[in-house]
A = this chain, B = another copy of it.
Amino acid sequence: MTPSPTEASERAAGPPPALGIGMVGYAFMGAAHSQGWRTAGHVFDLPLRPVLAAVCGRDETSVRAAAAKHGWAAAETDWRRLIARDDVQVVDICTPGDSHAEIAIAALEAGKHVLCEKPLANSVAEAEEMVRAAEAGRARGQLSMVGFNYRRVPAVSYARKLIEDGRIGTLRHVRVTYLQDWLADPLAPLTWRLKRERAGSGALGDLGAHIVDLAQFLTGEPLAGVSALAETFVRERPVLGGPSAGLTGAAGSAYGPVTVDDAAVFTGRLASGALATFEATRMASGRKNALTLEINGERGSLSFDLERLNELSFHDHAEPAASAGFRRILVTEPEHPYLEAWWPPGHGLGYEHTFVHQARDLVTAIATGTDPAPSFADGLQVQRVLAAVEESAAKNAVYTPVPPPSETPA
């Protein structure tokens, strides 16, 4: 873990130049991103040094407290002022989806690099605008990236490598789920996440976006079409903090309507003709964060479960049948993606390491002028799939084609 003499002497020449980060939003995602920005430069040898310049939120007291807690040097209450700061080169957007487009486009127009949380936007139209802004920015040397952090679980990155290396062969099946259970209880309260006007959609946008992105990322193929069913199992939930709050037994007065889906299931075809199944739900009792995926090909298969994120299962179908089987690879070897900088084999990583890796990769891309992935165009493609899923679900499972990614927005 100690630097080699060469590294040390280079370092003696001085620390790497600073790269100022400005973050909008400081709730769950903001906390995770903060940990990523704070840590990346202490673990990886980065060409630029991320500096937590300023964080932005609407309530001054709260945002100051958040800045203190998460290690940001300054606090802003207007995201336009944050974007305008000279010490901010990267704008990191951690707000709900309905504000992504406006902030991202403004930041790009202001000459900043942008990292935007997923889903890229709440509509295809917004996402298309964002892609156009990102392309214009790219022409000026600015980079854009969307925060599908699960691509950066080392086991997922390594799965992609195995597929690129041909270890799976001709693709046959993709099956992906993202199962949570925090809405299994019908008395769980009616938060803004259950309101269409704020959240855009329910399990579909929140969880489905991740699994659609992973399916396309891992296979290297876009979805060609989908057929979907969606359901809101619990249509009314107790309102929190309203005048009748607590009177949950009273005749309807304390309840409000849930206007997003609790769950969505969908099937699809990938560009090559492989079949795929998807399920996103917040009602799967006992499943906490079960993003599971399995990919079957002519030469092999892969499976993964985010609840055991340091493991990848790989079956090599070229092995003799008698000694073949799914092997549990602990993805903690120095040869594995991102692992060169962490701990010895078997000393696992956790959820927030994906944000450290995301920070590393964006910083490196900025320093080297290369395009980071996933791009806004990747985010748009996910949005198009989700829109097709919603359309199919509205039409009771009619097969709905997804425009191919080559069709860039006009």
Interface residues of A (CB under 8 A from B): 1-3, 5, 7-9, 11-12, 15, 26-28, 30-32, 34-35, 38-39, 42-43, 45, 61-62, 64-66, 68-71, 158, 162, 172-173, 175, 177, 179-182, 184-186, 227-229, 231, 233, 263, 265-269, 273, 275-277, 279, 281, 283-290, 294, 296-301, 306-311, 314-315, 317, 320-330, 332-333, 335-336, 343-353, 396-399
Chain B residues lying within 8 Å of A328, measured Cβ to Cβ, are: 325-328
| Total copies of this chain within the assembly | 4
A contact face: mostly helix, strand, loop, or mixed: mixed
Which among A287, A296, A308, A346 has the greatest number of chain B C-beta atoms within 10 A?
Answer: A346
**Which of B231, B276, B345 touches A289 (beta carbons < 8 Å)?**
B345
Instruction: Evaluate whether A336 and B322 lie within 8 angstroms (CB atoms) in the complex, with A62-B2, A285-B300, A301-B285 already known.
Output: yes
Q: A172-B233, A325-B329 are in contact. List 12 more A-B contacts (CB 8 A).
A: A172-B184, A180-B345, A181-B317, A267-B267, A284-B301, A285-B300, A286-B325, A289-B332, A289-B347, A321-B333, A322-B336, A350-B350
Instruction: Evaluate whether A344 and B28 lie within 8 angstroms (CB atoms) in the complex, with A3-B65, A321-B335, A327-B327 already known.
Output: yes
Chain B residues lying within 8 Å of A294, measured Cβ to Cβ, are: 284
| Cα distance A179–B39 in the bound complex, in angstroms | 30
| A to B CB contacts below 8 Å, 29 in the list | A2-B65, A3-B62, A39-B39, A42-B69, A158-B322, A172-B233, A172-B284, A172-B285, A173-B263, A175-B177, A184-B298, A184-B317, A185-B298, A229-B268, A265-B277, A281-B296, A285-B300, A286-B300, A289-B347, A290-B346, A307-B346, A308-B308, A308-B311, A314-B323, A314-B325, A323-B329, A324-B329, A347-B352, A397-B398
